[in-house]
Structure 1
Amino acid sequence: MIEIGKNITEYLRENFGDEYMSRFVEFYDSEPKTHIRISPRSDKQKLFEALTHYGIELKGVQGIPNAYEVTRGVDMVGKTIDYILGAYYIQSLSSMLPALVLNPSPKDKTLDLCAAPGSKTTQLSELMSNRGTLVSNDISIDRLRVLMYNIDKMNVVNAGVLNKKGELLCGFFDEYFDRILVDAPCSALGIIQKKGEVSNWWNRNKVSGIAEIQYKLLVSGIRMLKVGGELVYSTCTLTLEENELVLNKILEKYPVELVDVELPVESREAFTDIRGVKLNPGISKAKRIVPWEAGSEGFFVAKLVKSDKTDKRNADKSRFKNDIKLLNANSRDIKNYLSEISDYYGIEKSVFDDYRFIQRSKDIYFVDGRWDSIHTGLFNRIGSKFGAVDKKNRVQLHMLAAQILGKYVAKNRAELKNKSELEIYFRGGVIRRPFDSKGQKIVFYDDKILGTAVASDEGLKSQFPRAFRTQEIVIP
């Protein structure tokens, strides 16, 4: 384990005292707790039963209905069939709190400004019942790939993904969103227990630079927020410069007010007096989550409401491509494909009315029918993968569409018979036995919708995506 740097211990002692610093060191040396967030689409009773076969035991977290502490079998929790199929998400308890505080509804246009790797985006989608308009942005293209992987794994169909500088995004979305989450990049003192490498680079100059980035992101978020809209600012660090002092600067210059935050874990009021300097008294409504008190990571959470209009920022839109066309199920460009899928799988055509569709060359994506945004040409992706048009001009469904639509399927189902066949399927292999008919099938095993496969004279060829095969999957 990496030793905590002197820069950190001196900072903690100077600002919070000797006892706080000692408790922090104890926290750093202790074993972190593991929590999961169960997807609302999961059957909890069946999931609990399935996890017992892995030796996994869970304990519910009071005040957060879908949050559970893993009390046994921590080493297996990321290797289960249910995990790879998105029945639950591994996430620290403190990390779940910002989205809960924002609490968007399907009617809210919601922005996750710093979204990767996707913990909070997928949670926001669940709070929105996977409906309406969710926009997920991240500046890093590498982290964006992880974000989209987690969006796919958790079957999110109400998110559009952007890869833009958050501080410049306000040039495109002036006073547009009802709810915004700014879970800002930070100096990570709250999560140093699992990211000991923070100790190698942490210093006060870095903290000052990161605090300036947070300020710019918050300013952009406030400009994108409608009057009366709500913004949650959160970090996973404990410093004063990145939390209270950033807020104080914002409150001096922008028309926002802090509102009370109620959390289901133990927390402290934010500071309003720092080294003798009096801050805006409203900052006391923000909350500090101290790791050894909450039994999770250190966090800071504040909720702001916009009280008046802000000045508009204009971005150069000339460099961006034309807007993406979103098609209804009865649109000429898509309805024949959907009709064929309906007939082939026995899916009622009305099911597709809940979605809108995007065709990019041979690939088709689908998104919740209520998703709506300006400047769709900015987006790297809208919705999730639906399928691809093959050489015979027929749509082959993607695993993600199969998992979402599988409950409506009446025909062309393939049921796996045993664990051996399941192992072959997850490896992307061929299950060598005859099937009733040839062509693509939606694959089931023990009431789980796995994805798709193609039946031929050789057997059933798995179409389980390569990206999901890289992860170890244990079959009990």
Structure 2
Amino acid sequence: MIPVDFKERMKSYLGEKEFEDFFSSFDNDERYHSLRVNTLKCDKEDLKSKLSYIKTEVSWEEKGFYYDDAQPGKHPYHEAGLYYIQEPSAMAPVHFLEPKPGEKILDLCAAPGGKTTQIASYMNGEGILVTNEINRDRAKILSLNVERLGIKNALVLNEDSAHLSEVFEGYFEKILVDAPCSGEGMFRKNDNAGDEWSLDNVRTCAVRQKEILANAAKMLLPGGRLVYSTCTFSADENEETIFEFLFANPDFHTVKVEKTGGIENGRIEFISDELYEKYSLIDAVRAEKCREEVLNSLRLWPHKLKGEGHFLCVLERDGELTRENANSYVPGGRNIAARPECTKVFEAFVKDNLSFDKKTFEIKRGKIFCNLEGGRSLNGLMYMFGDQIYLCPEDMPSVNGLKVMRGGLHLGTIKKDRFEPSHALALFLTADDVCLCKDYPSDGSEIKSYLNGQTMKITDDTPDSTYSQVKKDSKGWALITTDGYSIGWAKAAGGMLKNHYPKGLRINY
């Protein structure tokens, strides 16, 4: 049910005629469903050839595709992390953030992980991605999605923005603030979204957003880029928040960007006369400049494009961003390297189970250099988190003093004199990276049995795919793949594959 106060406010924003077009979109049964291809694990053209229902590209995201009459969440490819099901308008903020490999990027309000995984796909495993969620239960979901999509360079945190601004002051080159909001843009998508909505809640959200945005600004380097976004229509949470932020932070300015697919500019007429007059009394020239800069913000209207309601603004901090100031320090110092007795256990696993360039392979003082045959690498610093061993970029900030959900790529568990690989490592690897691999077709019953946790029988008389090397007499860790895409581990022994798919993720088809 759409709240009456919401309708009245939107009518005052848009005027009678446009409001009718806007509100008619709420009665329209047509909804736009989309997914974004995870290019860390697969080529988008290859996936398009295998999934006939993804064809039309999302205008503002080259990796995003609309789909109809399908349930991609129930396909084995979803568990293999080949895509992320994401609302099309929600893909826009990262497009304008323009993440690149090698950068230091923060996704401040990141759960459930759509924008984090989108950023990671553009970073291509290079650089440092700090991704944070204040709610612990949602942070767990964020961490699982980082794992599912095979991301190796992410530090997943469960912190509040104030603490992060103290630890990471002046550290990031790019920051995304997809702020928690009143969620008005989800009214069409979710029938219950309006039940908890009120004008008071809108104002409460706006106060919280201003605090989060102020904390985020402290963490951005001079010359860095910050994208602020919401999925709401409220000017209090959008144009007015940007206006007040600019007035309070004269070293920031908005960026005029090229629009596509029906995206429009924000509207300065949404800024109330009372708010504008309040700041004009302080500095009339500055107030007018800030109001004009709000015009560079962007609106995604559901009656004008193929997506739900969204707002975003691209901000940059004055100054020049150079590699010298971007690499000036590591917050908290570097992590402490794993002890030799731990790295030796992992080294034995690598030599027994992975396919790698033996000429360049080296582990020294916790640092590993390992180029895998599939084109990926296990390069970086290995460190311990209890009995768990992680791989992180050498200059990843220390995990000490932080509430960490995932600190880089989880390699596995050290169990006395042996190593047990993690599910995260399986999802990172490819069929070419391992000595043993067993492939099951995505449309067959075998892969469903595997995802259900069943032990699998090895039969040599069954024609194997190009990717399979497991035979009846095989022993050791085998990477399970579906149509060549990694999905989990099994242990080969005695003509059987003991299932190591995590119990908490198993599916009953």
Q: TM range, normalised to the smaller chain?
A: 0.7 to 0.9
* 1:36 maps onto 2:52 in alignment: no
Corresponding position of 1:460: 497
Q: Is the 8 A contact 1:8 1:199 kept in 2?
A: no
The residue correspondences of 1:312-331 to structure 2 (distance < 5 A) are 325-327=335-337
Q: Partners in 2 of 1:57 and 1:251 — Cα distance?
A: 41
Paired residue secondary structure (2:337): coil
Corresponding position of 1:77: 72
Paired residue secondary structure (2:51): helix
The alpha carbon displacement at 1:45 in A equals 3.9
The alpha carbon displacement at 1:420 in A equals 3.3
* 1:403 maps onto 2:427 in alignment: yes
Residues 347-370 of structure 1, C-alpha deviation per residue, up to 9 Å, x if partnerless? Answer: 223226523323222222223x35
Residue type at the aligned position of 1:397? P
Cα gap change, 1:252/1:51 in structure 2, threshold over 3 Å: closer, same or farther? same
Residue type at the aligned position of 2:99? P
Deviates more, 1:441-450 or 1:370-379: 370-379
Corresponding position of 2:483: 446
Residues 418-446 of structure 1, C-alpha deviation per residue, up to 9 Å, x if partnerless? Answer: 93332221111111346213332222343
Cα gap change, 1:220/1:27 in structure 2, threshold over 3 Å: closer, same or farther? same
Corresponding position of 1:7: 5
The residue correspondences of 1:373-412 to structure 2 (distance < 5 A) are 373=397, 376-380=400-404, 381-390=406-415, 393-412=417-436
Residues 211-258 of structure 1, C-alpha deviation per residue, up to 9 Å, x if partnerless? Answer: 011100110011111111111111111111111111111111112111
Corresponding position of 2:329: none
Residues 54-89 of structure 1, C-alpha deviation per residue, up to 9 Å, x if partnerless? Answer: xx342223453211111x333x22111111111111
Deviates more, 1:258-267 or 1:123-132: 258-267
Q: Which of 134, 143, 147 is the aligned partner of 2:138?
A: 143
Paired residue secondary structure (1:291): coil
Cα gap change, 1:410/1:88 in structure 2, threshold over 3 Å: closer, same or farther? closer
Paired residue secondary structure (1:98): helix
Q: Partners in 1 of 2:458 and 2:21 — Cα distance?
A: 61
The residue correspondences of 1:403-442 to structure 2 (distance < 5 A) are 403-416=427-440, 419-433=444-458, 435-442=472-479
Residue type at the aligned position of 1:271? R
The alpha carbon displacement at 1:382 in A equals 0.6
Q: Is the 8 A contact 1:57 1:73 kept in 2?
A: no
The alpha carbon displacement at 1:144 in A equals 0.3
Paired residue secondary structure (1:228): strand
Corresponding position of 2:324: none
Q: Which of 180, 183, 203 is the aligned partner of 1:208?
A: 203
Cα gap change, 1:73/1:238 in structure 2, threshold over 3 Å: closer, same or farther? same
Q: Is the 8 A contact 1:261 1:287 kept in 2?
A: no
Q: Is the 8 A contact 1:188 1:198 kept in 2?
A: yes
Query: TM-score under structure 2 normalisation?
Result: 0.82
Give the share of equivalent positions with the same residue, in percent.
28
Paired residue secondary structure (2:450): helix
Paired residue secondary structure (1:17): helix
Corresponding position of 1:271: 267
Q: Partners in 1 of 2:292 and 2:433 — Cα distance?
A: 58
Unaligned segments of structure 2, at least 5 residues = 277-287, 321-331, 362-369, 372-376, 460-471
Corresponding position of 2:346: 338
Cα gap change, 1:340/1:244 in structure 2, threshold over 3 Å: closer, same or farther? same
Q: Partners in 2 of 1:374 and 1:445 — Cα distance?
A: 36
Q: Which of 54, 57, 66 is the aligned partner of 1:60?
A: 57
Residues 95-142 of structure 1, C-alpha deviation per residue, up to 9 Å, x if partnerless? Answer: 111111111222321111101110000111111112211101111001
Cα gap change, 1:175/1:153 in structure 2, threshold over 3 Å: closer, same or farther? same
Q: Partners in 2 of 1:178 and 1:371 — Cα distance?
A: 15
Corresponding position of 2:390: 365
The alpha carbon displacement at 1:20 in A equals 3.4
Unaligned segments of structure 1, at least 5 residues = 310-321
The alpha carbon displacement at 1:202 in A equals 1.4
Q: Partners in 1 of 2:302 and 2:130 — Cα distance?
A: 30
Paired residue secondary structure (1:199): coil
Q: Partners in 2 of 1:107 and 1:448 — Cα distance?
A: 26
Deviates more, 1:244-253 or 1:166-175: 166-175
The alpha carbon displacement at 1:92 in A equals 1.3
Q: Partners in 2 of 1:260 and 1:86 — Cα distance?
A: 34
The alpha carbon displacement at 1:184 in A equals 0.3
Deviates more, 1:116-125 or 1:57-66: 57-66
Length, aligned pairs only = 449
Moved beyond 6 Å, runs of 4+: none
Q: Partners in 2 of 1:111 and 1:292 — Cα distance?
A: 32
Query: TM-score under structure 1 normalisation?
Result: 0.88
Deviates more, 1:139-148 or 1:339-348: 339-348
Corresponding position of 1:171: 166
Residues 441-472 of structure 1, C-alpha deviation per residue, up to 9 Å, x if partnerless? Answer: 222343222221112337212111223324x6
Cα gap change, 1:384/1:198 in structure 2, threshold over 3 Å: closer, same or farther? same
The residue correspondences of 1:244-283 to structure 2 (distance < 5 A) are 244-254=239-249, 255-273=251-269, 274-276=271-273, 278=276, 280-283=291-294
Residues 147-175 of structure 1, C-alpha deviation per residue, up to 9 Å, x if partnerless? Answer: 01111111111110111111442122111
Q: Partners in 1 of 2:85 and 2:354 — Cα distance?
A: 35
Q: Is the 8 A contact 2:181 2:232 kept in 1?
A: yes
Deviates more, 1:270-279 or 1:198-207: 270-279
Q: Partners in 1 of 2:120 and 2:434 — Cα distance?
A: 28
